[in-house]
């Protein structure tokens, strides 16, 4: 039985409880990046995450998305130099 290795994001941006994970995907046209955004929270002793955000989370969502966007552009330009 083959074991599956867990894929990790190439970078994460976190502000408080909101984080953006940046994923690299190899394509025929080079590396393309996707971003997933989540909110972490503790349920008892266990940490969990959600893709649902409250009103007060939205400014952090905007900021982590902006920082993820900047990271992708900075790193994409390095790989094409």
- pLDDT at position 33 over 70: yes
Domain that holds residue 58: 11-80
Count: domains in the chain: 1
Least confident piece of the model among 27-31, 39-43, 50-54: 27-31
Residue 49 · residue 41 · CB < 8 Å:
yes
Look up residue 16 and give its two tokens.
């408080």
Environment class of residue 10 by beta-carbon count within 10 Å: exposed (0-12), middle (13-18) or buried (19+)?
middle
pLDDT band per the 50, 70, 90 thresholds, residue 81: very low
Look up residue 37 and give its two tokens.
């955004």
In a domain, 1, yes or no: no
Strands (E), 1-81: 11-15, 18-27, 30-43, 46-50
pTM score, whole prediction:
0.83
In a domain, 68, yes or no: yes
In a domain, 16, yes or no: yes
State the pLDDT at residue 2: 59
């Amino acid at each position: 039985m083959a074991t599956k290795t867990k894929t990790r994001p190439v970078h994460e941006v976190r502000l408080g409880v909101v984080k953006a994970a940046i994923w690299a995907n190899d394509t025929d046209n080079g590396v393309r990046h996707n971003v997933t955004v989540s909110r972490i929270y503790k349920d008892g002793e266990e940490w969990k995450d959600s893709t649902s955000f409250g009103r007060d989370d939205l400014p952090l969502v905007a900021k982590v998305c902006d920082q993820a966007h900047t990271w992708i552009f900075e790193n994409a330009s390095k790989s094409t130099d």
